[in-house]
């Protein structure tokens, strides 16, 4: 666990790469324990479960061209400077190998002083690349990107939601379903972490016949739960719901999955609406789900599986449920963000 990357100490991505294994796992677990203690919560917090190195399949590369040189990588710690990446122990091999090739094409299409972001996802059939930049895309640029993509295992390039190049539709497998990714699709950062979270959620809601999947994204949990339960997936982005619905139609052996477009921050499912479900799964953004949690706390639902990428907002929401009489039964730190100061959490609550 303490083999250092050449960029460690400068790159803002990794903070704990110099720690020994035991100290590292304890430090990650402490992120969860400390957050809970700040809200006067006590719970069974399991030992940290790690994903392998070189397993992160999603990232955002920061890119800037200065003169003829192109810097590509992540921001330096507490800075907007870009650490020009020459290696990375976190990314999958295909994503790490993409960096020098991406540097070449950005040198060709960017102007001096121009900056952009490249959101890269390793799909099952190649790399999906979404560019965020402020430029008018010309035919010449699109042609250069298409030629480059075909040589470098990139199956799609988009500018935001606009498709510039699509050699194949990128897809991933979730349970028995083939999920075609819309541009900007939300996926768990690692396949190993995804499997760990799915297993925890499945155990937490086992036996439930009607499950609500809130902040459902493309269906990471809905698709895995639908083998045994009817699932109602709620998400604010229609493109994600469309992808989920298409995956359900193409899969066999799934129970019904319904979808609903809804902004759960502004319009949470009410306690009355939640009453028809036997269990709830939620995986909100970093801000947590305080408005929705208040409705869950007042509902008659028996079980909640909560997945979070932010220990602070999770602890705040957990305190709301506990104050309403729920029991925080088990908390599992899942280290999907290797060597960083972040931790994923899988937890389950039951009514007292």
The model's pLDDT over 274-313, given as tens digits with 9 standing for 90+, comes to 999 999 999 999 999 999 999 999 999 999 999 999 999 9
pLDDT band at 2 (very low <50, low <70, confident <90, very high): low
Average of per-residue pLDDT across 204-221: 98
For all residues of the chain together, what is the average pLDDT?
97
Which of 215, 301, 210 has its CA nearest to residue 256? 210
Strand (E) or helix (H) holding 35: helix 21-38
Encode pLDDT of 226-278 as tens digits. Answer: 999 999 999 999 999 999 999 999 999 999 999 999 999 999 999 999 999 99
Q: What is the pLDDT of residue 1?
A: 47
Q: What is the pLDDT of residue 338?
A: 96
Given a contact cutoff of 8 angstroms between Cβ atoms, the answer to whether 12 and 77 are in contact is yes
CATH number assigned to the domain with residue range 58-123+125-168, chosen from the 4 options 2.30.30.100, 1.10.287.70, 2.40.50.1070, 3.40.50.970: 2.40.50.1070
Total number of residues shown for the chain: 352
Residues of the chain with CATH 2.40.50.1070: 58-123+125-168
Given a contact cutoff of 8 angstroms between Cβ atoms, the answer to whether 161 and 184 are in contact is yes
Strand (E) or helix (H) holding 177: strand 177-180
Strand-pairing partners, residue 234, are 214, 260
What three-state secondary structure class fits 1?
coil
DSSP E strand boundaries for 197-325: 210-214, 230-235, 257-261, 279-282, 303-308
Given a contact cutoff of 8 angstroms between Cβ atoms, the answer to whether 98 and 16 are in contact is no
Q: Is 309 a catalytic residue?
A: yes
Q: What is the pLDDT of residue 3?
A: 59
pLDDT surpassing 80 at residue 113: yes
Average of per-residue pLDDT across 342-350: 98
Average of per-residue pLDDT across 176-201: 97
Residues of the chain with CATH 3.40.50.150: 21-50+173-351
Encode pLDDT of 8-33 as tens digits. Answer: 999 999 999 999 999 999 999 999 99
For residues 211 and 105, what is the distance between their CA atoms, to the nearest angstrom? 46
Architecture category of domain 21-50+173-351 in CATH: 3-Layer(aba) Sandwich (3.40)
pLDDT band at 4 (very low <50, low <70, confident <90, very high): confident
194-208-319 Cα angle (round to 5): 70
For a pLDDT cut of 70, what percent of the chain falls above it? Answer: 99
Q: Which of 5, 116, 218, 309 is catalytic?
A: 309
């Amino acid at each position: 666990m303490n083999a250092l990357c050449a960029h460690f100490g400068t790159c803002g991505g990794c903070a704990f790469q110099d720690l020994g294994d035991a100290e590292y796992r304890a430090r990650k677990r402490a992120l969860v324990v400390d957050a809970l203690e700040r809200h006067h919560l006590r719970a069974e917090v399991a030992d940290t479960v790690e994903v392998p190195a070189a397993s992160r399949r999603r990232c955002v590369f920061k890119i800037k061209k200065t003169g003829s040189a192109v810097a590509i990588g992540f921001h330096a710690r507490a800075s907007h400077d870009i650490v020009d990446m020459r290696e990375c122990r976190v990314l999958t091999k295909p994503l790490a190998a993409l960096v020098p090739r991406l540097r070449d094409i950005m040198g060709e299409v960017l102007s001096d002083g121009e900056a952009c972001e490249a959101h890269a996802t390793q799909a099952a059939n190649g790399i999906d690349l979404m560019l965020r930049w402020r430029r008018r895309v010309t035919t010449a640029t699109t042609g250069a990107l298409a030629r480059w993509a075909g040589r470098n295992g990139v199956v799609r390039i988009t500018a935001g939601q606009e498709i510039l190049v699509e050699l194949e539709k990128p897809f991933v497998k979730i349970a028995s379903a083939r999920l075609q990714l819309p541009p900007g699709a939300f996926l768990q950062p690692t396949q190993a972490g995804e499997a760990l979270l799915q297993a925890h959620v499945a155990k937490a809601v086992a036996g439930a016949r009607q499950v609500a999947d809130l902040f459902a994204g493309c269906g990471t949990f809905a698709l895995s739960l639908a083998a045994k339960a009817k699932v109602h997936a709620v998400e604010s982005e229609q493109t994600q719901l469309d992808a989920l619905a298409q995956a359900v139609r193409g899969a066999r052996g799934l129970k019904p999955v319904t979808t609903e477009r809804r902004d759960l921050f502004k319009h949470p499912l009410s306690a009355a609406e939640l009453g028809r479900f036997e269990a709830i799964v939620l995986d909100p953004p970093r801000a947590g789900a305080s408005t929705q949690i208040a409705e869950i706390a007042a509902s008659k639902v028996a079980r909640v599986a909560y997945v979070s990428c932010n220990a602070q907002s999770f602890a705040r929401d957990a305190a709301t449920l506990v104050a309403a009489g729920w029991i925080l039964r088990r908390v599992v730190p899942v280290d999907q963000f290797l060597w960083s100061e972040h931790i994923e959490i899988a937890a389950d609550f039951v009514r007292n």
